[in-house]
Amino acid sequence: MTLDKDALLTRIDAKRDELVALTQDLVRIPTVNPPGDAYEACARLLGERLRKRGFAVEYLRAEGAPGDKDSHPRVNVVARMEGQGSGECVHFNGHIDVVEPGPGWTHDPFGGVVQDGRVYGRGTCDMKGGIAASVIAVESILDAGIRFPGAIEISGTVDEESGGYAGVGYLASLGYFSRPRVHHVIIPEPLGVDRICLGHRGVWWAEVETRGRIAHGSMPFLGDSAINHMAAFLHLLEDQLGPKLRDRRTAQPVEPPGARVSTLNINSVHGGQVEQTYSVDDQGRPTGDLPSPVVSHSCRTVLDRRFIAEETLEAVKGEIVGMLDELKATRPGFDYGVREIMSFLPTATPRDAPVVDATARAIARVLGREPSYISSPGTYDQKHIVRTGKMNHCVAYGPGLLDLAHQPDEYVGIQDMVDSAKVMALAALQLTRGQAA
């Protein structure tokens, strides 16, 4: 087996150019989300390549899922290669969508330019470089003629950047991320070649509305300003809740360390008249719409509350509602509503899960050092695999630096991709052998 492994690693080294070319091909398909451009072309590029290698390939459009429409169909691809004999299935899942390029690029964001040992472009690091590394890893196993039991799957899924409901969420609802079909999942997100991400903090998104009474803006005392009520609530969030959250530390190894506490972001505030842009000409005369004087009867804010494994979702909600109730009891005229938008619990794959062990051993073998174990401040598709797939044998491991994700001049290091492909290949071989190995 030792000899086989060495030959396999050498083979992956030899596929360096092929790995770069596949990354470039993927990056040159601008799968920008929103709106979800060119998903099908990207899914088919992966699917047809793997079909030629003998994989059974399925294209699954998430009809009826959020975001799916004929102009922008949410097409996912799942490819499966059966091994010889009974064993377990390891699944490599990558999201094919990328965020918009935004300003500030010095390279063509969809050019796949190679320079100084890096491939540049939107999605190189997050996470088409990781997808390409997983494909090359598995193809190298096949090329080397290494027999494995169980099965290996590779999927390209959509919409991770917008919640993953039409991607991993949809496939999970169909059983694609559950036993007995799948036993281990590796998500090649850009966490770094020597880091294994075990899970993420929880999230609760909610919209809070304060209510008031409309009146003429010249006589605000005749109305009741919902914006003033909101200001009182926001003040409490900052003064009362903020210090509490900063003191609430988690034992999970969240990276960066600043995120090893509970956090709250006020995502948006909207109150009063609909948003307009007002302008005057050089004489001071209005050139467009003008506001009319009203006291605001409604103000809404969207809260993005990230919570730690040591908290419960009920406590997180109860804390906010408790503050609103306190205002209702003490502040004349205060009234509110809460609409929950989304929630996911914190996830943490056990350190002794086979997928963690296999990835750690492979990192030690390929890089000659022990991995570090981390947790993510934000959620990613693991949330669907845990909640809907009911499976917590899942890690995120892949090439690239998380800090570069969504930035201008995003890139992935070519040596990182080669190294992570080696790690993924060795981990897959260990995992397909199952518990008996």
Query: Which residues of the shown chain bind Zn ion in the complex (CB under 5 A)?
Result: 126-127, 189
Identity of the residue, 15 or 384, whose beta carbon is nearer to Zn ion in the bound complex:
384
Identity of the residue, 219 or 342, whose beta carbon is nearer to Zn ion in the bound complex:
342
Identity of the residue, 197 or 295, whose beta carbon is nearer to Zn ion in the bound complex:
197
Q: Give the CB-nearest residue to Zn ion.
A: 126
- Minimum Å gap between C-beta 95 and Zn ion is 6
Q: How far apart are CA 310 and CA 423, in angstroms?
A: 32
- Minimum Å gap between C-beta 381 and Zn ion is 8
Identity of the residue, 136 or 402, whose beta carbon is nearer to Zn ion in the bound complex:
402
- Minimum Å gap between C-beta 109 and Zn ion is 16
- Minimum Å gap between C-beta 32 and Zn ion is 14
Identity of the residue, 127 or 206, whose beta carbon is nearer to Zn ion in the bound complex:
127
Q: How far apart are CA 393 and CA 187, in angstroms?
A: 11
Contact in structure between 163 and 387 (CB atoms under 8 Å): no
Identity of the residue, 124 or 430, whose beta carbon is nearer to Zn ion in the bound complex:
124
- Minimum Å gap between C-beta 326 and Zn ion is 39
- Minimum Å gap between C-beta 392 and Zn ion is 20
Identity of the residue, 153 or 189, whose beta carbon is nearer to Zn ion in the bound complex:
189
Identity of the residue, 90 or 404, whose beta carbon is nearer to Zn ion in the bound complex:
404
- Minimum Å gap between C-beta 402 and Zn ion is 9
- Minimum Å gap between C-beta 14 and Zn ion is 28
Identity of the residue, 83 or 167, whose beta carbon is nearer to Zn ion in the bound complex:
167
- Minimum Å gap between C-beta 189 and Zn ion is 5
